[in-house]
């Protein structure tokens, strides 16, 4: 064999090996990508479900403020176009550039090859989700890769290689369910007298601004019991490692406390109220549950769900007491004004109420309220304020 033939064989060999190397490298990159993609798919399903549930909650709140008929129309709408759009937009907004993840929607409430979204009812008691169930308070989302098909992906070879490499399935389609159940999120409880029979949900009463106070001797209170409140962690007494201040400033997760006992306390130094003031005027906290003036951007109110208990003693000692929650109160706080040190300073997120809004009026003020008993069948229609993952 002459030198020219040997050189030709070497060139052919190198060319073949280069092609093989590129194919193997390409497969390795694809398999590694598919493995990482499972986390992306799972996270996208959860976050999209939360976005959809948040949209349902906002529609419920808006409808309740508009009128009872509108609320019924909203909670029995099995399509929920706003919630579907919110779920899809979340994926599009995060992955549109690379077009890696998609959610298919055909406005039905069963998962099919062409539909990855269902609207339905989450039963908080049995912890079950019913697609298409009413009143609608939950969203189910399934995510998929846009290159999952045999023609677009690695095909059968890719499936074999993924099993060998331990990268699991290429057609991974995770599901998540998020709901917007009525859960207490306020760090204060109100007296049952604050509700009144006329302000029973779905009727949300617009009231003359009312000052609430833990001190029944406050001369500016409308009524000693109607305007009284106490602070709460919504479950157990906060210990040394987790103070009430930290719970407020960190954004305590909402809890199901209806029909259960909670611990309340009276804070003589208004430290908890200072923290609540800081959270209310922090533009980055609880923004979805705050009303802003469309023209000026000024904060008009902060919606919370507060536990309702028996009327507290007129002079509650500065120690924890146990009280049973008999109702939930949907409340709009119109302003919180406290003098002295700014709250939540430990988190470097301290905010004060605008001076013009407070003037000399220190305290916690509300201008909307609606209550509902824990055993009421209407509780399934009570709008939650925070979406939660349930599956």
- Predicted local confidence at residue 69, as pLDDT: 65
CA dihedral 89, 95, 100, 103 (to 10 degrees): -10
Beta strand extents in 173-326 (DSSP E only)? 175-179, 188-191, 205-212, 229-232, 261-265, 290-292, 299-309, 321-324
Rounded CA-CA distance 189/343 in Å is 20
Query: What is the rounded average pLDDT of the residues 213-217?
Result: 70
pLDDT-derived band at 153 (thresholds 50, 70, 90) equals: very low
Rounded CA-CA distance 61/291 in Å is 12
- Among 84-88, 170-174, 326-330, 377-381, name the one with the lowest average pLDDT: 170-174
For 73, residues 6+ apart whose C-beta sits below 8 A from its C-beta are 63
- Predicted local confidence at residue 53, as pLDDT: 95
- Predicted local confidence at residue 221, as pLDDT: 52
For residue range 190-208, list pLDDT tens digits in order. Answer: 999 999 888 999 888 999 9
More confident residue, 172 or 132: 132
For 371, residues 6+ apart whose C-beta sits below 8 A from its C-beta are 194, 195, 196, 199, 200, 201, 308, 327, 328, 329, 330
pLDDT above 70: percentage of residues in the chain: 76
* Distances, alpha carbon 112 to alpha carbons 106, 141, 144, 173, in Å: 9, 12, 12, 12
Sign of CA dihedral 283, 288, 291, 293: positive
User: Are 38 and 169 within 8 A, CB to CB?
Assistant: no
pLDDT at 11 over 80: no
pLDDT-derived band at 51 (thresholds 50, 70, 90) equals: very high
Helix locations, 236-380, DSSP H: 244-249, 271-280, 355-358
For residue range 239-264, list pLDDT tens digits in order. Answer: 544 588 888 888 888 999 999 999 88
Domain boundaries, given as residue ranges, for the chain? 3-179, 188-389
pTM: 0.80
pLDDT at 218 over 80: no
pLDDT above 90: percentage of residues in the chain: 44
pLDDT-derived band at 362 (thresholds 50, 70, 90) equals: confident
pLDDT at 14 over 50: yes
């Amino acid at each position: 064999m002459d030198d020219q033939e040997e050189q030709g064989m070497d060139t052919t060999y190198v060319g073949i090996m280069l092609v093989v190397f590129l194919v193997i490298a390409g497969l390795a990159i694809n398999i590694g990508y598919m493995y990482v993609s499972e986390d992306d798919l799972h996270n996208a399903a959860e976050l999209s479900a939360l976005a959809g549930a948040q949209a349902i909650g906002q529609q419920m709140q808006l409808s309740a403020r508009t009128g009872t008929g509108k609320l019924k129309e909203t909670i029995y709408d099995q399509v929920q176009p706003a919630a579907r759009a919110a779920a899809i937009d979340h994926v599009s907004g995060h992955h549109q550039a690379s077009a890696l993840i998609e959610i298919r929607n055909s406005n039905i409430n069963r998962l099919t090859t062409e539909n990855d979204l269902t609207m339905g009812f989450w039963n908080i008691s049995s912890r079950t989700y019913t697609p298409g169930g009413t009143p609608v308070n939950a969203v189910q989302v399934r995510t998929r890769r846009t290159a999952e098909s045999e023609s677009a992906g690695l095909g059968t070879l890719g499936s074999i290689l993924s099993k060998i490499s331990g990268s699991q399935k290429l057609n991974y389609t995770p599901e998540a369910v998020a709901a917007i159940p009525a859960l207490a999120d306020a760090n204060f409880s109100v007296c049952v007298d604050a509700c009144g029979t006329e302000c029973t949900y779905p009727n949300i009463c617009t009231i003359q601004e009312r000052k609430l106070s833990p001190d029944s001797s406050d001369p500016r209170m409308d009524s000693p019991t109607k305007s009284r409140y106490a602070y709460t962690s919504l479950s157990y007494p906060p210990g040394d490692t987790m103070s009430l201040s930290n719970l407020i400033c960190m954004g305590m997760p909402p809890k199901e406390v209806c029909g259960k006992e909670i611990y309340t306390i009276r804070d003589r130094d208004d430290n908890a109220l200072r923290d609540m003031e800081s959270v209310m005027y922090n533009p980055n906290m609880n923004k979805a549950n705050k009303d802003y003036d469309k023209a000026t951007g000024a904060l008009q109110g902060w919606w919370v769900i507060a536990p309702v208990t028996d009327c507290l003693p007129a002079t509650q000692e500065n120690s924890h007491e146990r009280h049973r929650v008999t109702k939930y109160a949907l409340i709009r706080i119109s302003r919180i004004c406290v003098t002295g040190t700014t709250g939540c300073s430990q988190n470097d997120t301290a905010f004060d109420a605008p001076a013009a809004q407070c003037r000399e009026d220190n305290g916690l003020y509300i201008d909307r309220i609606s209550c509902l008993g824990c055993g009421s069948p209407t509780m399934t229609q009570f709008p939650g304020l925070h979406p939660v993952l349930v599956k």
